[in-house]
């Protein structure tokens, strides 16, 4: 696959370990949900090396000192419904005060094209760094449409995170949104004729919420 300057694929032993369990068809809903959260936490930490810091004065038991903190109210999380909900707590483990918006997308099973049906975002979203999250980056259609929806509403700083991605999805997002950093834990082989990632892990939403 062609490399893109805005695409970052993690090669972390801990993530590889957790993804191997995530893929297993015998992994139950509770453990699956926990693994999605744990992997997201590691990815969030790694993806925020360029986070904006502001100086603050702190008084230690010995003296006053200038230290640095993430700017208040500067982070938001926007999951692509419904599977993206499974990643929210993983980001919250790092940024517990981050506001949460929601974008609802569904895939037309005949055309495989995404359709937006819901969008609710926190006030002041245009001034925040937004984590757009979805466990699976397959065709890239939903991600691209969600990114376009955020940009249309004035968001300038967006980081897209997916746990499993297909080359087709990465290429589409990188081409249509070259200004958006894309963080992926694992790059898989390809899509099948139904638009599912191989080897993948099945339907992430169904496995998260116990539906079919």
206 is catalytic: yes
Burial grade of 6 (CB within 10 A; 0-12, 13-18, 19 or more): middle
Tokens of 192: 């099948």
Nearest to 82 by CA among 204, 174, 168: 204
| Cis peptide upstream of residue 199 (ω within 30 degrees of 0) | yes
d(Cα 187, Cα 93) in Å, to the nearest integer?
Answer: 24
Check 23, 27, 127, 203 and give the catalytic one.
203
69 is catalytic: no
Check 111, 115, 189, 211 and give the catalytic one.
111
Active site residue ranges: 107, 111, 203, 206
């Amino acid at each position: 696959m062609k490399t893109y300057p805005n695409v970052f694929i993690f090669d972390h032993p801990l993530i590889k370990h957790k993804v191997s369990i995530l893929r297993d068809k015998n992994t139950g809903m509770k453990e699956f949900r926990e693994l999605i959260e744990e992997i997201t936490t590691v990815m969030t930490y790694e993806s925020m090396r360029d986070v904006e810091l502001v100086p603050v004065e702190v008084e230690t038991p010995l003296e006053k000192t200038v230290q640095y903190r993430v700017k208040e109210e500067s982070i938001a999380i926007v999951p692509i419904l419904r599977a993206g909900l499974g990643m929210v707590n993983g980001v919250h483990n790092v940024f517990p005060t981050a506001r949460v918006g929601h974008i609802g997308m569904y895939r037309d099973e005949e055309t495989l094209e995404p359709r937006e049906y819901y969008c609710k975002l926190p006030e002041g979203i245009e001034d925040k760094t937004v984590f757009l999250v979805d466990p699976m980056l397959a065709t890239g259609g939903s991600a691209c449409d969600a990114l376009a929806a955020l940009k249309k509403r004035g968001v300038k700083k967006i980081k897209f995170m997916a746990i499993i991605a297909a080359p087709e999805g990465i290429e589409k997002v990188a081409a249509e949104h070259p200004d958006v950093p894309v963080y992926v834990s694992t790059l898989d082989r390809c899509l099948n004729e139904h638009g599912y990632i191989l080897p993948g892990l099945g339907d992430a939403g169904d496995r998260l919420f116990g539906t079919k």
